[in-house]
Amino acid sequence: MTPRSRAFAQVDVFGAAPFRGNPVAVVLDASGMSDADMQAVAAWTNLSETVFILPATDPGADYRARILTPHTELPFAGHPTLGAAAAWLDAGGPISGADVVQECGAGLVRVRRDGAEATGGVSAAGGAAGGLAGGRTDGLADGPMGGASDGRAEVLAFAAPPLVRTGPLETREMYGYAASLGLTLLDVQAHGWVDNGPGWCVLDLGSAEAVLAVEPDYQAMPGAKVAVVGACPPGSEHAYEVRAFVAAGYEDPVTGSLNAGLAQWMLDRDLVQTPFTAHQGTRVGRDGVVRIDRDDDGALWVGGSVRVLERGTIRV
């Protein structure tokens, strides 16, 4: 395939302020790219995920998203879903209804627009003069996402997908995860699978203080991913503090898929009531805020602020 310029964006997701959330790269026109091409770009960006936008194959979707880590492809991930929708809207991508509908490995995922919020600070790229460089070859129109050009964040939320694995961890698994985090069995108040595709499990440590004190030993982790959660003190702005550890050797700043499954787990245990917010990223210098709510039909929505902070082209 002859390389060509493709629309490209980098989006900050869930941040309480610009550059305080979880970044994701989005290639807005991945048509003609091979699996190897996509994996090479995902490895090169070196972000937790890179999203490649393709024409939808399902008539109910606005576009199809392939979500790749530097090493593999995921059927679903939360902050890439919101980042992809934000980049699509920012680039003038058409939607067929009030919600964005993304097709991915987990099926169709709805993303709703909850408006814009004033944030101040560094504004996202936008405005006619800040359009995508080099002209459009992808059928998208130049033009910013509503509110992105004047320092405001767009608030987007995805409908939480169903869990594909639930229930408590096996004793050996739980002991292995606890040990890898410097915990004893007495430190763990509850544990379970909260997996909607990426493979997350969680240990409830009871308090945000205990969560922030964890020192992980990544090489000792018995599986690929584990999270810890603990309630914030009464009167706090957020319901609980979250941390997410990946055996590849890093702590994820703010994790949408995890928070979707975790919220369902916490609600099922009657520990929280919607609407509420969860906080993540403290130990890695981020300020991630994840908003959880239910609609009148009982669907769980997971959302937060998104900012398209970089727009341009990538040559692939």
The domain locations on the chain are 5-159+304-315, 171-284
Q: Which fold has domain 171-284?
A: Diaminopimelate Epimerase; Chain A, domain 1 (3.10.310)
Token duo for residue 117: 């919020």
Q: What is the pLDDT of residues 195-225, one digit of tens each?
A: 998 899 999 999 999 999 999 999 999 999 9
User: 311: exposed, middle or buried (C-beta count within 10 Å: 0-12, 13-18, 19+)?
Assistant: buried
Confidence band, pLDDT 50/70/90 cuts, at residue 107 = very high
Task: Judge whether 209 counts as a catalytic residue.
Answer: no
Give the CA distances from residue 232 to residues 18, 184, 212, 239, in Å, rounded to whole numbers and listed in that order. Answer: 24, 21, 11, 6
Confidence band, pLDDT 50/70/90 cuts, at residue 19 = very high
Q: What is the pLDDT of residues 31-48, one digit of tens each?
A: 999 999 999 999 999 999
The domain covering 5-159+304-315 belongs, at the CATH homologous superfamily level, to Diaminopimelate Epimerase; Chain A, domain 1 (3.10.310.10)
Whether pLDDT at 65 is above 60: yes
Side-chain-side CA neighbours of residue 123 (13 Å):
15
Is the pLDDT higher at 134 or at 31?
31
Cα–chain center distance at 111: 12
Whether 175 and 187 have beta carbons less than 8 Å apart is answered as no
Alpha-carbon span 259 to 241, nearest angstrom: 11
The stretches of the chain forming alpha helices (DSSP H) are: 35-45, 78-90, 171-180, 208-212, 256-268
Whether pLDDT at 128 is above 80: no
Confidence band, pLDDT 50/70/90 cuts, at residue 157 = very high
pLDDT value, residue 117: 63
Alpha-carbon span 5 to 92, nearest angstrom: 18
Please state, as a whole number, how many other Cβ atoms lie within 10 Å of the Cβ of residue 235. 5
pLDDT value, residue 183: 97
Give the CA distances from residue 150 to residues 47, 229, 283, 306, in Å, rounded to whole numbers and listed in that order. Answer: 26, 35, 30, 13
pLDDT value, residue 114: 86
Alpha-carbon span 278 to 158, nearest angstrom: 15
- To the nearest 10 degrees (0 to 180), the angle between helices 256-268 and 78-90 is 130
- Mean residue pLDDT of the chain comes to 90
Give the CA distances from residue 246 to residues 105, 127, 175, 181, 287, in Å, rounded to whole numbers and listed in that order. Answer: 21, 38, 17, 12, 19
Side-chain-side CA neighbours of residue 12 (13 Å):
22
257, amino acid identity: S
Whether 82 and 27 have beta carbons less than 8 Å apart is answered as no
Token duo for residue 159: 């409908």
